[in-house]
Copies of this chain bind each other. A is one copy, B any other.
């Protein structure tokens, strides 16, 4: 990269992922609409955010997660002492069950942030796009690299930029902006569809360490394809080793410790530069959507103390620290 490269880091939110943005918007709407309980189907970050928001608002919540979720994301949701349901199945199974539950009498007062109040939730993602423009001094970047799970975040950041131009708050870059999408190799149906020039997305059974992106049947996948094609961007994907390298490279160079989704985005940025799909001279923003503390397991075997010594000058000298 020769042009300016920015990291939009969303790990300082109350539960340390971008989901706090969409949950805040969705639950504010849900209360206005008269719902009395909050819920979601989640790969972890959303669960965490919904349970925390419900605790803060003093409202009951019931959160549905896949049974194999990382321990950290289970604990950070369960600590709020609200209902947490582990489902023996994938995220797509969890999502399907929630779509059924929302139709029952017993759940008619329950707002599932990503099911029956999903429109509000989806629009909440635009705040990430607005903030990028604001933080650049009311300008748009020429290129953005965005992680994709359902594909919704990518389409909404593109929408945010479009709206800001339409209402005259910012000018579009001379050649427009280009939108790039990042997936993990273990769950890459949107990127594969782009690579194959397809008009449909073939669902996959997700694998791999980037669990927060493991949506095998992405609800907004076709819209993400459209946005990338329209703007002249591209998509790619990274395997688990590349994701871990991405996490460490970002940490080492910026001080930002990203969760696996951030590792995906950084690893894909590297691929896009190497393949010439992304212009290394153009101003670029990559999005880190979550905090590394949430997915410690991903790097736990790779990093640790570089020395282990006895508490004495002799111990330090023998370890080579005084040379």
Say which one of A117-125, A213-221, A246-254 lies at the interface with B.
A246-254
Once the chains bind, are A311 and B62 in contact (CB under 8 Å)? no
Once the chains bind, are B293 and A72 in contact (CB under 8 Å)? yes
**Chain B residues closer than 8 Å to A89, beta-carbon distance:** 310-311
Query: A65: which of B252, B254, B305, B316 is its contact (CB, 8 Å)?
Result: B305
- Is A281 interfacial (CB-CB < 8 Å)? no
Say which one of A98-106, A152-160, A166-174, A177-185 lies at the interface with B.
A98-106
Tell me the dominant secondary structure on chain A's binding face.
Answer: mixed
Once the chains bind, are B101 and A247 in contact (CB under 8 Å)? no
Q: Mark A27-67, 1 if CB is under 8 A from B, else 0.
A: 00000000000000000000000001111100000100101
CA distance A93 to B275 in the complex (A): 51
Query: A309: which of B88, B251, B303, B309 is its contact (CB, 8 Å)?
Result: B88
Once the chains bind, are B306 and A83 in contact (CB under 8 Å)? yes
- Is A136 interfacial (CB-CB < 8 Å)? no
Q: A78-B304, A106-B322 are in contact. Are A87 and B53 (CB under 8 A)?
A: no
**Chain B residues closer than 8 Å to A254, beta-carbon distance:** 55-56
A318 to chain B, nearest CB (A): 12
Once the chains bind, are B83 and A14 in contact (CB under 8 Å)? no
A260 to chain B, nearest CB (A): 13
Write the chain B residue with the least CB distance to A69: B305
Say which one of A137-145, A188-196, A231-239, A294-302 lies at the interface with B.
A294-302
CA distance A323 to B106 in the complex (A): 7
Once the chains bind, are A88 and B307 in contact (CB under 8 Å)? no
Once the chains bind, are B305 and A78 in contact (CB under 8 Å)? yes
**Chain B residues closer than 8 Å to A291, beta-carbon distance:** 16, 293
A contacts, CB < 8 Å to B = 12-16, 52-56, 62, 65, 67, 71-72, 74-76, 78-81, 83-89, 93-94, 96-97, 100-101, 104, 106, 247-248, 251-257, 291-294, 296, 299-300, 303-313, 315-316, 319, 321-323
A-B contact pairs, 30 of them (CB 8 A): A12-B13, A14-B255, A14-B256, A52-B257, A55-B252, A55-B253, A67-B308, A74-B304, A74-B305, A75-B300, A75-B303, A76-B296, A79-B247, A80-B252, A80-B255, A81-B303, A84-B307, A85-B307, A85-B319, A87-B309, A87-B310, A87-B311, A88-B308, A88-B311, A97-B315, A97-B316, A101-B316, A101-B322, A106-B322, A293-B293
